[in-house]
Structure 1
Amino acid sequence: MKRWYLYPFSLGYHMVTGIRNTMYDLGIFKSTKFKTPIINVGNLSVGGSGKSPMVMYLAKSLSKYYRTGVLSRGYGRLTKGYDVTNYDSNYKTVGDEAMQLFERFKNRFVIAVSEERVPGAKKVIDDMDLDVLILDDAMQHRAIKAGFNILMTDFNDPYFKDHLLPAGDLRESRAGANRADIIMVSKCPDELTEETKQYYISRIRPTKSQKVFFSSIGYDENVYGTRDKMLPDNNLNYYDILLITGIANPKPLLTHLAKFSQRVKHLKFRDHHNFSDADIKNIVAEYKKLGEYKLILTTEKDYVRLKTFDYLRDLVYYWPINVVIDRKEEFNQVIMNYVNRK
């Protein structure tokens, strides 16, 4: 969203972030390096750009061969400090994104949270004897120097068309993309032409050492509920649907859901919304207004919060997503080359 009337304030923001980045570039501000391979998945903008599905993809792939860990800030949790996600954790203690990872993968890889990335990275690497660590959303957290950076940018709102906060949604200037090893254009339409790809590459203008990839959202064949029970017949067209979202950009989900059902009422909340009792009462009231055959549908991230409310536990279903990468084998090889080289 562009807010041109705030552009004068963006000039001040540009000066502050520019000075900060220069201090890191010159070594005046300390940036800690690690011997263990660290892959950062980040972006330049505020809001959803597909980081979480990419973190999932990398962690799942790398954990087949290496002792793998994921470190996030634990945004939205009610606690502070370092913690490792386990069966006693919930979204209030580790955040919804860490809990989402654990709900899907359990102990397949280590999932830790720490708002202080440097001590958090040291502790999880040493305590868990990791071979590789994935950082979630640390592009601007330059106190830690990742060995490999993946910059995510939304196909429908690419960073090269955006502007700095508060006039636009960029956390730092477009020049920050120069720190990336891979620039991933995410949430692309299913039918993406070579002409369109070349247009994006021409606007990105990658350096000789950078690679540009394209990816889309892939929805699971099944819709799941409590204890991984699947929606009967998986036929969404059969139901009146109350869609609950607390994510930055629900548009892709709405577009995909429209292919299956036109009987959808959408209740939209802000990203990482901490649902209150009043919210739940409103959700229940809206649910009761629906027809005889009805269900509550949400995202995988929102599900870990909504299912904690007793009344909703057996009513709410979620639709898992995965990232689908164009030239996947080449992408995988680039990642493996980095990890093996380290």
Structure 2
Amino acid sequence: MNWRRLLLPFSGIYWGITTIRNVFYDLGLMRTTSFDLPIINVGNLSVGGTGKSPHVMYLIDLLKDEKMTCTLSRGYGRKTSGFRIANYDSKVFDIGDEPMQFFRRFKNKILISVCESRVLGVQNLLKHYYPELIILDDAFQHRQIKAGFNILLTDYNQPFFEDFLLPGGDLRESRAGAKRADIIIVTKCPDSIPNERFQVFQDKIKLKENQQLFFSRIIYDNQLIGATHNLQQTEWINKNVILVTGIANPTSLVNFAEANFKNVLHLMYPDHHNFKDVEIDYIRKRFDETEGDKIILTTEKDYMRLLEEGSLKDNMYYLPIRIELNDKEKFNQTILEYVRTH
């Protein structure tokens, strides 16, 4: 039995608070701000681990040449506050790991911004930068702002309809919140979904007439990216790996590493973890103790936080990922239709 299930009575309190809040927003008793441009919101019902970043990057790739596109994130883990725009002088503690990941991937092709208040963030963008399209990163529960299009992600291995509210589970709000989504994407799917499991998702999610359901899986690149050079698959497949993760659910990457490298030592840290000096020293120590041909492997998001560590930099790599949708054409058409008509 999961020990957290002992906390389910307290989940009832959390349910009451979040349900009343949502009802107040639904009835207009709490203020919601709308803006006159297309805004796409990508988020979860759970506290994390659904693979949000690669889905945001998929949208950026799809839309960056369609309109002047901007992402707006909270900037989780940064040591600054207020509204900021990413630039070449930005550090990970200025804007957060995920915005830094977006900036390094897309640079000047789009605008990357952070602000705790999504409303204030959009107001600043419209006042100073004139975007034509905004992608909200992880704002499904930020109902002060009214997005024109909502995309909800849920993990194939822990879908929201099998989860519970905090603290007994990982849900930020009740399962009923899924009704606000225009698109629901089941993420981190296996290469082949058994028919009976596919039917479970169809039956349990109970789509409304205006909703669409998609399935996505993670695709790993065939090269590792490093600070000074990259490694092709033929160069890294027989290496020993110190795998460092600071993400909510590293299971997929761990499984990939164990299947594709000689030996794997996994050092696991919490999501958005800010590594202390003693932890950096420990990672380096374990690397030095590892025999043979070896590297340090981490996620693209963690790489943003570890990149400035000189003692790790020359031996550290990340493996880029992307997502593949079960019906890419239909998904793209739906998103483009919204963007072009708003």
- Which interval holds the TM-score relative to the shorter structure? over 0.9
Match of 2:317 in 1: 317
Secondary structure of residue in 2 paired with 1:177: helix
TM-score w.r.t. structure 2 length?
0.97
Deviation at 1:237, TM superposition (A): 3.0
Which residue is 1:260 aligned to?
260
Q: Is the 2:69–2:133 contact (alpha carbons within 8 Å) kept by the matching residues of 1?
A: yes
Q: Deviations over 1:139-178 (max 9, x none)?
A: 1000000000000000000000011111111100000000
Deviation readout 1:290-315 (Å, 9 max, x if unpaired): 11311100000011111111111111
Deviation at residue 194 of structure 1 after TM alignment: 4.2
Q: 3-state DSSP class of the match of 1:6?
A: helix
Q: Contact 1:125–1:133 (CA<8 Å) still a contact in 2?
A: no
Q: Does 1:69 align with 2:70?
A: yes
Give the 5 Å matches for 1:10-25.
Answer: 10-25=11-26
Q: Which residue of 2 aligns with 1:78?
A: 79
What residue number does 1:226 align with?
227
**CA drift at 1:195:** 4.0
What aligned pairs does 1:280-299 form with structure 2 within 5 A after superposition?
280-299=280-299
Q: CA deviation at 1:47?
A: 1.9
Q: Tell me the residue number matched to 2:60.
A: 59
1:332 Cα deviation from its structure 2 partner: 0.3
CA distance in 2, matches of 1:303, 1:3: 31
Task: State the AA in 2 paired with 1:230.
Answer: N
Q: Which residue of 1 aligns with 2:10?
A: 9
Provide the C-alpha distance between the structure 1 equivalents of 2:8 and 2:311, rounded to a whole number of angstroms. 46
How is 1:167-316 mapped onto 2 (pairs within 5 angstroms)?
Answer: 167-227=168-228, 229-231=229-231, 234-316=234-316
Q: Distance in 2 between matches of 1:202 and 1:235?
A: 45
Distance 1:12 1:237, change over 3 A: same
Q: Is the 8 A contact 1:223 1:234 kept in 2?
A: no
| Partner deviation per Cα, 1:77-118 (whole Å, 9 max, x = no partner) | 000000000100011000000001111111111100000110
- Counterpart of 1:132? 133
**1:49 alignment partner in structure 2:** 50
| Correspondence 1:31-50 to 2 at 5 A | 31-50=32-51
- How far has the Cα of 1:3 moved from its partner? 1.7
Q: Which residue matches 1:330?
A: 330
Whole-Å separation in 2 of the counterparts to 1:259 and 1:127: 48
Change in Cα spacing, 1:236 to 1:2, as seen in structure 2 (3 Å) is farther
Over aligned residue pairs, what C-alpha RMSD do you find? 1.2
TM-score between the two structures when normalised by the length of structure 1: 0.97
CA contact (8 A) 2:164 2:171 kept: yes
Partners of 1:213 and 1:325 within 8 A in 2: yes
C-alpha contact 1:7 1:167 (8 A) present in aligned 2 = yes
C-alpha deviation, 1:232, in angstroms: 5.4
How far, CA to CA, are the matches of 1:309 and 1:77 in structure 2? 17
Distance 2:337 2:127 in 1: 23
Q: Please say if residues 222 and 233 of structure 2, whose CA atoms lie closer than 8 Å, have aligned partners that are also in contact.
A: no
Q: Which amino acid aligns with 2:85?
A: V
Aligned length: 341
Q: Secondary structure at the match of 2:47?
A: coil
Kept in 1: contact 2:101–2:301 (CA 8 A): yes
CA–CA separation in structure 1 for the residues paired with 2:39 and 2:198? 28
Q: What is the DSSP-based 3-state SS (H/G/I as helix, E as strand, rest coil) of the residue aligned with 2:271? A: coil
The CA deviation at 1:340 is 1.1
8 Å CA contact 2:187–2:215 kept in 1: the answer is: yes
Q: Does the CA contact (< 8 Å) of 1:2 and 1:169 recur in 2?
A: no
Partner of 1:224, secondary structure, is strand
Task: After superposition, give the CA deviation of every residue in 1:245-290 in whole Å (9 maximum; x if it has no partner).
Answer: 0000000001111221240101001111101110111011100111
Shift of 1:2: 6.5
Whether contact under 8 Å (1:68, 1:130) holds in the other structure is yes
Structure 1 residues not aligned, in runs of 5+: none
SS at match of 2:266: strand
